[in-house]
Amino acid sequence: MKNEALYNYLLRLGDDSLILGQRLAEWCGHGPILEEDIAMTNISLDLIGQAMNIFDYAAEIEGNGSDHDKIAMLRYEHQYVNTLLVEQPNKDFAFTMVRQFIFDAFRKPLYELMQNSKDKQLSAIAEKSLKETKYHLKHSSEWVIRMGDGTEESHNRAQKAVDDLWRYADELFFQDDVEKSLIENGILPKYDEVKQAWQQTVEAVMNEATLQIPTNGWTFGGGRIGRHSEHMGFILAELQYMQRAYPNMQW
């Protein structure tokens, strides 16, 4: 395949959006209040829409009659290359919002810098997604601050979420030959710049939220190369059910 590195990267980028979108969709009808229920499903749809644009581009590179539905719905578990962070279960609202915040704080600078990509289509995807992502980050960081700097219970739940999720943050900055070659060719931004911006946002918000960032240095990874946690199979069972049961169905 021509442009194989870009294709592989697009799957990594798109799978993060798709799987987190699917996770957020699980809140539909279960949100703590009606307004938040709608907010979370709006964000879910934004992410799935982003995945659609990204997979459209991947399908174009792949050729052979591929399309975004085939890429999203018909791969096996080890072919999904999302980070472990986005597949973690929703648990409580604090857990969902902290997961979202860690992710949004990464996605915003990534898209901002990706707008300068030498690849015009990737730059256009970044520009379009950035507007949505800015709002997602505003929403999730306000909730992290509200809960962290809230009551004893909300603080404890938010802190527990930070303690449990922090080990998955590092994988967002995963790099192998795929990313490295794209960074070299000016198609992806330099990851240390993305990480610096991420770090600033995370530290500022955690500080305001009176939450402690764990210092044990534990990191988990594997999702980027198709090795997932036990949760992934259940997500795909739900996500893929209709396409597997009724192949090529549309609605």
DSSP string for 116-176: T-SSHHHHHHHHHHHHHHHHHHHHHHHHHHHHHTS-HHHHHHHHHHHHHHHHHHGGGG--S
- CB of 37 or CB of 77, closer to other proteins: 37
Per CB under 8 A, does 149 bind other proteins? yes
Per CB under 8 A, does 92 bind other proteins? no
Which of residues 35, 65, 247, 249 is near other proteins by CB under 8 A?
Answer: 35
Nearest approach, Cβ of residue 39 and other proteins (Å):
4
d(CA 37, CA 17): 19
- CB of 145 or CB of 188, closer to other proteins: 145
Which of residues 118, 131, 138, 227 is near other proteins by CB under 8 A?
Answer: 138
CA dihedral defined by 120, 126, 128, 129, rounded to 10 degrees? 160
Site stretch for other proteins (CB under 8 A), options 115-123, 140-148, 199-207, 232-240: 140-148
Binding marks (x or -) toward other proteins, 158..197, rule CB under 8 A?
----------------------------------------
Instruction: Check if the beta carbon of residue 47 is closer than 8 Å to that of residue 21.
Output: yes
Per CB under 8 A, does 147 bind other proteins? yes
Per CB under 8 A, does 145 bind other proteins? yes
Nearest approach, Cβ of residue 158 and other proteins (Å):
10
**Separation in Å, CA 249 to CA 48, 83, 110, 243, 244:** 18, 29, 35, 6, 9
Q: Nearest 5°: CA angle at 62, between 56 and 67?
A: 40
Instruction: Check if the beta carbon of residue 168 is closer than 8 Å to that of residue 100.
Output: no
Per CB under 8 A, does 39 bind other proteins? yes
- Positions touching other proteins (CB under 8 A) are 33-36, 38-39, 42, 135, 138-139, 142, 145-147, 149-154
